[in-house]
Structure 1
Amino acid sequence: MVDDEQVARSKAIQQRTGKTFHVATRLLPERVREATYVLYAFFRVADEVVDDPGGRDPAEQRAELERIRRAALGQEPTDDPVLSAFSELRVEYGIDDRDVNVFVDAMVADIDTSRYETYEELEAYMDGSAAAVGRMMTAVMDPDSPENALPHATALGEAFQLTNFLRDVREDVLERDRIYLPKTTLSEHGVTEAQIESLRMDGGFEAAMRTELRRAERLYREGVAGIKYLPKDCQLAVLLAAVLYADHHRLIRKRNYDVLSETPQLSLSRKLYLLAKTRWKWSWNKDPDAVFRDVAAGFGEERPRPGRGPHDPPAVGTD
């Protein structure tokens, strides 16, 4: 059984590296909350092998990820408290080994793959980096009808991932030399990789961001529509996570889609405001879809741009 020390270690990792998700996690019932800390910590342990290699070359990164895979699947012993805790949870909740494998495969892909030609290629990557995460979370929540919940959980996991990609364009290209905007979308709007690498904002990049934001927002709607299939004591937490992640789109639009000069971040006061508003609306209406539409007011709406030409500099706002 996972012990208190393992849970505390996992919770600390989430508090440090997943502040937005941590706010929502705290609303989960204890039976799910502690397991979620462990899941998130496992994801971060694997992710940091490629995001923060610490001087390891690609061969060493691959070897470390394979060690993590074997430990997570219970194929070899480990003294890492996060990996041992995850391996126990995998058995306890019946987490599919295929989801563990596809997740680790996505982390391995990050070692060599830094550009994606089409959205379909990016979607295949996200099946491991995001959709598998949603499926593992669903297993932990243990809904009565997982066959109904899982397609929506997959969509919501991809929506969260796309929001991260759109928010973190600057950080990804500067710190990791990665661009997660599909080349086909960039080419359609006349944007080159060199332009993103030089952090040059123009109307073409704005149009590309609009396209990908709309794609992500379709996934949010599909994902939120399935929250009703989750256990009742888990619905508010997942709904809040959707509200918090989706609010980054408001910030991006407020900055006229400029994520190249600065990475948009939700302030703590904004997170607490959205938490309070979501809980209040939920106390009156237990329809996740309706509450999401109400709280995420303006979600998916384009900001008017009177007097701006397609290549004018953005009017940058602050939150």
Structure 2
Amino acid sequence: MVSDDGVARGKEIQRRTGKTFHLATRLLPARVREATYVLYAFFRVADEVVDDAEGVPPAEQRTELERLRAAALGEESTDDPVLAAFAELRETYDIPDADVNTFVDAMLTDVTKSRYETFAELRAYMDGSAAAVGRMMTAVMEPEEPERALPHATALGEAFQLSNFLRDVREDIVERDRIYLPRETLDEYGVREADLRNFEVTEGFREAMERELRRTEALYREGVAGIEYLPKDCQFPVLVAAVLYADHHRLIRERDYDVLSETPSIATTRKLALVARTRWHWLWNHDPETVFLRVSCVPEVPGDVDPDHGRDPNRGVGRRLLRGAVEGLRRLT
């Protein structure tokens, strides 16, 4: 079993640094909630090696990340409660070494890489920084058919991270000299890096942001479609997380895409209202896709096919609405 100290440290780190994720985590059953605290803490500790590295030479950052990797994989002993707890967790839930390595490799990428030419290049990075996270979270939930859940968990992990990238454009430039908006998108709409550095919200920038919002929303739809493959007691918390993270898109659009003057932040009262609204719809309909469509700000627009997925997001709408109606009638009888 994972040590109580490791869980406590993980919970404290998550509460301090990941308020939205912490709110959703609290809704998970205890068996998954405690494991999630440990996972999040490990991800955060590794992330801070490169995000809070002002003045630290790249060679030292890489050395520290390799130390974390060895401890996480159980190759070296450690007295760090977070790393020790993660190593125990990895063995308990049979988390693949490949996912741990892919995640650490993505953190190593952040040491030296700060620009991405194409979305395909950015997505390759996110296979470690986001998709591997989604796969590890799925492992601790222990779904009956992981092979069906994992592709959707990958998409949802990517959607969460892309929402963060779109929210944090200013913060990433000012604090880390990083730009996660693909250069191909910026070039398509005539946005120069100088515009971003001068915090100029041009019409081209608004169009580029809307393009990336729609791309991310296609991933939300794909990710939410797989929530039904998770254990019953995990479906609502994951759905809530999707609703909360996606709500940044509403905020960005309400601000006319201005994420350059300051970093947008969703008010706690808004988050609690979204949780309550999601719970209300969930009481009447346990179909995640239908509830997400009704509660979240993510549109499901006819004919909106994402060019990077080639999938019409309306596929299955009739099935979901019919299933929702049947579920509602069943609860009324």
TM interval, shorter chain, is: over 0.9
Which amino acid in 1 is paired with 2:50? V
Q: Deviations for 1:149-171, whole angstroms, at most 9, x for unmatched residues?
A: 00000000000000000000000
**Are positions 1:293 and 2:293 aligned together?**
yes
Alignment partner, residue 281 of structure 1: 281
- Superposed displacement of residue 55, structure 1: 3.3
Contact kept, 8 Å, 2:224 with 2:289, in 1: the verdict is yes
Alignment partner, residue 10 of structure 1: 10
Alignment partner, residue 20 of structure 1: 20
The number of equivalent residue pairs is 301
Alignment partner, residue 136 of structure 2: 136
Instruction: Find the aligned partners of 2:115 and 2:18 in 1 and give their Cα distance.
Output: 25
Instruction: Find the aligned partners of 2:122 and 2:192 in 1 and give their Cα distance.
Output: 18
Alignment partner, residue 310 of structure 1: none
**Are positions 1:240 and 2:278 aligned together?**
no
Contact kept, 8 Å, 2:186 with 2:192, in 1: the verdict is yes
Change beyond 3 A, Cα 1:117–1:228: same
Query: Structure 2 length as normaliser, TM-score?
Result: 0.89
The answer to which structure, 1 or 2, has the higher relative contact order (CA under 8 A, 6+ apart) is: 1
Alignment partner, residue 304 of structure 1: none
Contact kept, 8 Å, 2:167 with 2:264, in 1: the verdict is yes
Q: Deviations for 1:263-306, whole angstroms, at most 9, x for unmatched residues?
A: 111111011101111111111110000000111146478xxxxx
Instruction: Find the aligned partners of 1:297 and 1:104 in 2 and give their Cα distance.
Output: 33
- Superposed displacement of residue 2, structure 1: 1.3
Instruction: Find the aligned partners of 1:300 and 1:200 in 2 and give their Cα distance.
Output: 30
Which amino acid in 2 is paired with 1:161? Q
Contact kept, 8 Å, 2:293 with 2:300, in 1: the verdict is no
Matched residue SS, 1:266: coil
Alignment partner, residue 317 of structure 2: none
Instruction: Find the aligned partners of 2:21 and 2:137 in 1 and give their Cα distance.
Output: 13
Alignment partner, residue 167 of structure 2: 167
**Are positions 1:153 and 2:153 aligned together?**
yes
- Superposed displacement of residue 53, structure 1: 1.6
Which amino acid in 1 is paired with 2:283? S
| Dislocated runs of 4+, deviation >2 Å | 297-301
Alignment partner, residue 80 of structure 1: 80
Q: Deviations for 1:157-193, whole angstroms, at most 9, x for unmatched residues?
A: 0000000000000000010000000000000000011
Alignment partner, residue 263 of structure 1: 263
Unmatched 5+ stretches in structure 1 = 302-319
Alignment partner, residue 110 of structure 1: 110
Alignment partner, residue 191 of structure 1: 191
Matched residue SS, 1:117: coil
Matched residue SS, 1:257: coil
Instruction: Find the aligned partners of 1:80 and 1:206 in 2 and give their Cα distance.
Output: 44
Instruction: Find the aligned partners of 1:252 and 1:117 in 2 and give their Cα distance.
Output: 23
Which amino acid in 2 is paired with 1:179? I
Matched residue SS, 1:258: coil
Contact kept, 8 Å, 1:144 with 1:231, in 2: the verdict is yes
Instruction: Find the aligned partners of 2:187 and 2:93 in 1 and give their Cα distance.
Output: 44
- Superposed displacement of residue 50, structure 1: 0.2
Contact kept, 8 Å, 2:135 with 2:150, in 1: the verdict is yes
Instruction: Find the aligned partners of 2:67 and 2:259 in 1 and give their Cα distance.
Output: 36
Instruction: Find the aligned partners of 1:54 and 1:155 in 2 and give their Cα distance.
Output: 32
Contact kept, 8 Å, 2:243 with 2:296, in 1: the verdict is yes
Alignment partner, residue 60 of structure 1: 60
Superposition CA RMSD, Å: 1.0
Change beyond 3 A, Cα 1:203–1:93: same
Instruction: Find the aligned partners of 2:160 and 2:20 in 1 and give their Cα distance.
Output: 11
Contact kept, 8 Å, 1:170 with 1:263, in 2: the verdict is yes
Alignment partner, residue 182 of structure 2: 182
Unmatched 5+ stretches in structure 2 = 302-333
Q: State percent identity of aligned pairs.
A: 71
Q: Deviations for 1:192-251, whole angstroms, at most 9, x for unmatched residues?
A: 111111111110000000100000000000000000000000000000000000000000
Contact kept, 8 Å, 2:246 with 2:297, in 1: the verdict is no
Instruction: Find the aligned partners of 1:300 and 1:21 in 2 and give their Cα distance.
Output: 24
Instruction: Find the aligned partners of 1:71 and 1:31 in 2 and give their Cα distance.
Output: 24
Query: Structure 1 length as normaliser, TM-score?
Result: 0.93
Alignment partner, residue 230 of structure 2: 230
Contact kept, 8 Å, 2:250 with 2:297, in 1: the verdict is no
Which amino acid in 1 is paired with 2:177? D
Instruction: Find the aligned partners of 1:56 and 1:177 in 2 and give their Cα distance.
Output: 15
